[in-house]
Structure 1
Amino acid sequence: MSRTAAVSHVGKVRSNNQDSAYAGRYLFVVADGMGGHAGGDVASAIAVKRIAETDQAYTSPHDAEYALKSALLSANSLLAETVFEHSELTGMGTTVSGMLRVGDKVAIAHIGDSRVYRFRDGDLEQVTTDHTFVQRLVDSGRITPDEAAVHPRRSVLMRVLGDVDASPEIDTSVLDTRPGDRWLLCSDGLSSFVGEEKIAAILRTVPSAREAADRLVKESLDQGAPDNVTIVVVDVDDSGDDSFEPPTTVGSAALPLSFGGEIERRAMRLPSLLLHPLKATPPDDSHFEPESDDYLQALIQEDRKRARRRRVTWLVFLVVAIAAIVFSALAGYQFTQRHFFVGESDGRVAIYQGVQQDIGPIQLSHIYEQTTIELDTLPPYLRSQVESTMNASDLLDAKRIVEELADARTEP
């Protein structure tokens, strides 16, 4: 028998909750949506709603493992179909960490950087592997786990469910469980801000699953977590009590699906010149003048003078405006040339100098360096990022991105 709790909090910065979670009788799952206002909440909700259909008894843990993996792949297809029908959601995706209990075994399916932990005999063990770029660097010995925690590319995911890969690789496993075990499923809103020692201390000292989940959320918020925080705690006991709590859904999956309008896309603009239109000269107070040739000639001369003044004023205005526009254009172009980004050129990774947007026929970027990294050798998610371009803070950062992409290449 297990006692469970599922909690989700929007965090201290985000305006909406892109996480979703489900805690049922046999199934427990956490999903962390990505894509911001482009649909991270939609992605996690669709995935959790689909995977929740697997919450049933299975004859063997391997049957449960297969069912869970199939559910994740089915959710991936649903996300791709949703993006096809709602182009404004292009780029959305979600991580998923799910667990199905079958007797004294649990089947786990995982993709992304949400995590599954097993707390047993006072020790906390992460049983899933993050599908992040920095984790690959850690695994290859290039950086330490401590360095990974502060790495500037630590949020780069290498595998997610979404419209990127029709057949994403899902990690699955079957592990044993026993009375006294406490399982923790969480989004990176917890694991990125609360150390494992603190997590273990809370799981060790707080007996109630619900209270433990609440304490973990509070600890994450106390650390200033800007991201959504979602936690599922599962306690395994041998009380013999066959009663179970109704399934709990939290986060975006607990709300009706909502598809927004087309995402507003704003191109980077050069500094603009604020132009104030000339104000019309207010008419003189009405008065009567007797019609005469002298007065008529005076009106004609005054009109000519006003016309000359208008022409001179407009000429000065145009000269000043043109000079300001030219100056702004030059300053803006010089500003753009201080930027770098990594993109694609002829099927290979290239470093570009400038910005991604063009102004009509004027190109604001050019290839600074063409690399030998073939785009086809990169994992699908990184390949998609390169095709969409990856911003760099400076040339050194761009070269660092290229080095990281080179390390991420797969065998053809």
Structure 2
Amino acid sequence: MKKLFLIVFSLVFFTGGPAVSAAGNLSVQEAMQTSNGTDVIVEGYIVGVPVSQSTVEQSNFSSNYALALADDAGETDMNNMILVKLDSEYRYEWGLQNNPGLMGEKIVVGGIRDAYFGHEGVEYVSSITKTSGDCGGGDTGSGDGDGSTSGDYYSSADGLTGDALKQELHNVIDDHTELTYSDVWDALRHTDEDPNNTGNVLLLYTGNSISKYENGGYVDEWNREHVWAKSHGDFGTSMGAGTDIHHLRPTDVSVNSARSNLDFDNGGSAYADAPDTYSDSDSWEPRDEVKGDVARMIFYMAVRYEGDQGELDLEIADYTGTSGPYLGKLSTLKQWHESDPVDSFERNRNEIIFSDYQGNRNPFIDHPEYVEQIW
């Protein structure tokens, strides 16, 4: 029986599926014939940047978001290419907009076969190396071991603390794509999608899952909550602070109205329409599960909007009952940041905002230690 099993196994291994090179890596053509959802290691030449279903840039590269690989370094036919989606931790080292000299380089990519731009592709990349063994740094992933992205995105902030760190993080996240207030509806449908029901969004304060399209201004619908209340700086819904989805979240219309423009702090009377939520005349305490989320959104806003280029200078105060471009309460927000650590929902949301909408990140999700280093 063992001998028969070995014969069958050998036949399956050596004849079933696409052929594998001696090194165990698939060629591009072999990878293109592999079923979606399969873990693959693909070896090929970098031949451009895919920017649509029918276009691969081979010069004057406009993004770092993806690579096209082929078995021939001179390939120009997209039908002979596999497209590799680059998540944020790989873009700085491997994106052609940053590194045009990588064009024609032979690399090995580990990831999962999946369609990208409606074409044979590789997503969820786990490693990238040069075939020469010069890894270039891209195969190290995020490097933190806690799911955070650090590396080169924040490298200019290395070793800084206090106001110097705050200013440098501002420089890193300052320039980004600004949405219109109308765009925010569709963005929140994506960033706050319920992972257990993709037709729904999760509401910040209640935790309820509700249809993505039950949005508007009526009771039991959801609307766009400015976690940094827009009256604290009077930025309204204008592009910039008023449409920055790092602090905009879907919330129940009635709960949004009840929170109004209150500062954040512990205590008050229980608010019946949201579990474990309390409020008084000048503060709002959300449920424990999102206390840290709220804090990190406030920290982001205080760093992103620093008063340059004609923008507001938003600052966190250590008291409640604030007015003007201030929001409190700093000491409480720091406690919430510690008691409710970053989770996978926050990380995923941060990634989507960075890759699909604004092109910038929330540093306090990626590096929770920055809070204590600044405040």
Give the TM-score normalised by structure 1: 0.19
Where is the helix percentage greater, Structure 1 or Structure 2? 1
Q: Which has the higher contact order (CA 8 A, sep 6+)?
A: 1
TM-score by length of 2: 0.20
Structure number with bigger Rg:
1
